[in-house]
């Protein structure tokens, strides 16, 4: 009986332990232009296209029909974890930086997009209509 318990007890304890199956190694996949907050903070209205290209690098998407719009897209898919995506659109007027749009906030809050600084709100009061 003691011999059976001596064999059975370690087997029961081993069955209760959690065994993780080995997972294959998954590499981190980076696609597009790396866009950091520091890079976007250097952008100021009035910079030339060459200055913007020096700061951010060549745009991932440069549409020949919209030469005044550059799109920078970055995606990081880690082997384990959630996918990180960043998008930045740079718009020029007269070959000078006019606007930014995307999900990276500019240094002084002049970015348009989901994380942009909202414009100041205005309250417009409408008087009640006269009853006849």
Domains in the chain, start-ordered, CATH in brackets?
Answer: 27-112 (3.30.1450)
The pLDDT score that the predictor gives to residue 118 is 42
Per residue, the 3-state secondary structure of 59-91, as one string, reads CCEECCCCCCEEEEEEEEECCCCCCEEEEEEEE
**What average pLDDT does the segment 65-71 reach?**
88
The pLDDT score that the predictor gives to residue 113 is 45
Neighbours of 5 (CB within 10 A): 10
- Assess whether pLDDT exceeds 50 at residue 84: yes
In this prediction, residue 122 has a pLDDT band, given cuts at 50, 70 and 90, of low
The pLDDT score that the predictor gives to residue 109 is 52
pTM score over 0.75: no
Q: What are the pLDDT digits (tens) for 4-55? A: 778 887 777 777 766 677 888 888 888 888 888 888 888 889 999 999 999 9
In this prediction, residue 114 has a pLDDT band, given cuts at 50, 70 and 90, of very low
């Amino acid at each position: 009986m003691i011999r059976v318990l001596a064999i059975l007890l370690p087997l029961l304890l081993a069955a209760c332990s959690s065994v993780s199956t080995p997972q294959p190694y998954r590499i981190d996949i980076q696609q597009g232009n790396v866009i950091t907050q520091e890079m976007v903070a250097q952008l100021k209205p009035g910079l030339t296209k060459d200055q913007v290209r020096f700061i951010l690098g060549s745009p991932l998407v440069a549409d020949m029909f919209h030469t005044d719009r550059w799109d920078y897209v970055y995606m990081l898919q880690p082997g384990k974890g959630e996918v990180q995506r960043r998008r930045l659109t740079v718009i020029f007027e007269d070959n000078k930086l006019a606007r930014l749009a995307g999900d990276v906030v500019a240094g002084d809050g002049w970015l348009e997009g989901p994380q942009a600084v909202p414009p100041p709100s205005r309250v417009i009061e409408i008087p009640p209509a006269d009853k006849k």
